[in-house]
Structure 1
Amino acid sequence: MTTHKIGIIGLGKIAQDQHLPAIRANPNFELLAVSSTRGLTDHDAQYTFRDYRDLLGLKDVEAVSICTPPQVRHQIAREALLAGKSVLLEKPPAATLSELEDLRHLGEKQGKTVFTTWHAQYNKAVGEAKKALAGWSIKRLQVTWKEDVRHWHPGQQWIWEAGGFGVFDPGINALSIVTRIMPEPVFIKTADLEFPANKDAPIAATLQLQTGHADGDLQAVFDWRQTGPQTWDIEVETEAGFALKLSHGGSCLEIDGRLVVQEEPAEYQGIYRRFDALLTLGRSEVDDAPFRLVADAFMIGRRVQVEAFED
């Protein structure tokens, strides 16, 4: 059994809450180094750095998990690949599709693994939903993804900047499930994007979707202004008449009202099991389908200005 010596670049909330515990729980990984501009202690890893370039200089580091904001991820990942490291990319994997394509090609050239992680896809319920929908035509799709940005992204101003994705930072999780479970490709038909008067990224979005041959009722609604209970639901109805619902971010599945899967999310454990397999095989896995839907929404979306938002 090979133990992969790994580093983390960017020790924000997602890295602390998910990546660190998942790495430490997986015996096939050894956390060797961590880099963060916020400062670290010797309890975080054997080596700690403020400058990620110092981490990339460690010969024993085989791979790095890049958990920075997306605006700077491409340059860091590029330097990591050129330094001979494989890379795991938090979602969204870059700021633009062109950046991701560059990383894909550079990984091939360097012979290193590039892995795009869509954590919501690693719920068991998502896999079961994909199996249930295989081969069927979809009549209705309703995605409702509403949460409280003040709770989930406290003080994270980068999400409101150009390239920070705004409400699509969580919304892309929903789209990653949609692209995984739908039996045929999905396209953006129309998009209304609500931008606060004082922000450069949307706080809400309403998307009309379509498939290549059907005129089904397919839509998604994202909103960052939800308070109280949070809503992460995907409802699907097929032409054959059966319906399913994924709830709690994709961790629960009902088919025709019958509970089929209900489990505690173990998304990042699944991500690192997959990364271990890819590193062992020397393969990359670059899934850009959710990313393309977000890019298309920005490309054809109608900008709607709403009142200023203070967080």
Structure 2
Amino acid sequence: MSNIRLGIVGLGKIARDQHLGAIAATDGIELTAVASRNAQLDGVHCFRDIADMLASGVELDAVSLCTPPQGRFAQARAAIEAGKHLMLEKPPGATLSEVFALERLAREKGVSLYATWHSRAAAAVEPVRDMLAKRTIRSVAVSWKEDVRHWHPGQAWIWEPGGLGVFDPGINALSIVTRIMPDSFHLTAADLSFPANRAAPIAANLAFETAGGVPVTAEFDWRQTGPQTWDIRIETDEGLIVMTHGGSRLIVDGTAQIVEEDHEYRRLYERFVEIVPASAIDADLSPLVHVADAFMLGRRLTVEAFED
């Protein structure tokens, strides 16, 4: 099969930091076009928006959406209706219902839909999933704390409804936990801290419980400066498992077992290359379900105003 001819929509920070290099390093796919209101890229066809890209006559097999979740549904629908396989940056949409609609449309049109969770592609995730299938879990504690000014400078959309606030990084942790846990879990309580001048939370404390009664806690905070924290600590009867650095490193009973640099996005594009020939659907929405539950069940706390 010839290379998948890909068009990217949205040439912002995440596309430049992660997608472009991953595409270049992945066999079976090539970047053919870019649609962006404010940026261009040498060596490929450039358009202002997805409508111009799809109407241009440039031959494309697939589209990767790297735009904010608000407003993404119309872009995704346009790509699917044009018969293009579709890859979605996380979160896959601003609402659950719109992603369900996209999945139905993709099935009707016979194209792939890939709702990506890049943190699930971290090196320690699958090994820990295999370990937990054979161990008795006592508790899970997530600590996901980072500096929003470093990772999302000037990105006003992230503080608006649908932008998720601290759940933009927090959903990465939830994507890992929903993958590694052998049992389902549900939210029992949540405190969400909203800056007085923002429509999305800057911090969250969450309490979950598995169907078997195992406690799962998560602390998300966007106010941490200095070293950043992306850790998951799992207490089991057979010993302690700790995932750090967003899941790229693994420590079991105090011994380091995996230490790997970031190859998450390359693994995502390798997966996309796998599913496109079969027009397959890969769209697990469980991380977004937990975020939606947090907004439904969470107690709103007002904290000091945030200025970028």
Return the TM-score normalized by structure 1: 0.97
Distance 2:136 2:207 in 1: 17
SS at match of 1:187: strand
Q: How far is the alpha carbon of 1:27 from its aligned partner? A: 2.8
CA contact (8 A) 2:9 2:49 kept: no
Q: 1:230 aligns with which of 225, 228, 231?
A: 228
1:19 equivalenced with 2:19 (yes/no): yes
Q: What letter matches 1:243 in structure 2?
A: L
2:128 is aligned to 129
CA contact (8 A) 2:183 2:212 kept: no
Q: Which runs of 5+ in 1 are unaligned?
A: none
What is the aligned partner in structure 1 of residue 254 from structure 2? 257
CA distance in 1, matches of 2:9, 2:172: 22
| Shift >3 Å, 4+ stretches | none
Q: Do residues 309 (structure 1) and 306 (structure 2) align?
A: yes
CA shift, 1:241, in A, is 3.8
How far did residue 61 of structure 1 move? 0.5
Structure 1 position 32, deviation (Å): 0.7
Q: Which amino acid aligns with 1:121?
A: R
Secondary structure of 1:155's partner? coil
Asked if 1:297 corresponds to 2:287, the answer is no
Q: How much is the aligned-residue C-alpha RMSD, in angstroms?
A: 1.1
Deviation at 1:37, TM superposition (A): 0.8
Distance in 2 (alpha carbons) for counterparts of 1:299 and 1:46: 43
Query: 2:59 — aligned with what?
Result: 60
Mapped to 1, the partners of 2:39 and 2:20 lie a distance apart of: 16
Asked if residue 205 in structure 1 is aligned to residue 204 in structure 2, the reply is yes
Deviation for aligned residue 1:59: 5.1
3-state SS of 1:192 partner = strand
Q: Supply the distance in 2 between the matched residues of 1:163 and 1:155 (Cα, whole angstroms).
A: 17
Helix, strand or coil at the partner of 2:32 = strand
**Structure 2 residue matching 1:71: 3-state secondary structure:** coil
Structure 2, unmatched stretches of 5+, are: none
Question: Per-residue displacement from partner, 1:256-295 (whole Å, max 9, x unpaired)?
Answer: 1111111111000100000000012221101101111111
Superposed CA deviations along residues 204-258 of structure 1, whole A, max 9, x for unmatched, are 00000101121x33200000000000000000012x2411000001000111111
Q: Secondary structure at the match of 1:143?
A: strand
CA contact 1:137–1:183 (8 Å) conserved in 2 = no
Structure 1 distance, partners of 2:279, 2:85, is 9
Q: Give the CA deviation at 1:29.
A: 1.0
In 1, are the aligned partners of 2:192 and 2:204 still within 8 Å (CA)?
Answer: yes
Q: How far off is 1:135 after superposition?
A: 4.1
Give aligned pairs, total. Answer: 307
Matched, 1:88 2:93: no
CA contact (8 A) 1:135 1:183 kept: no
User: Once the 2 structures are TM-superposed, how far is the Cα of residue 137 of structure 1 from its aligned partner?
Assistant: 3.5
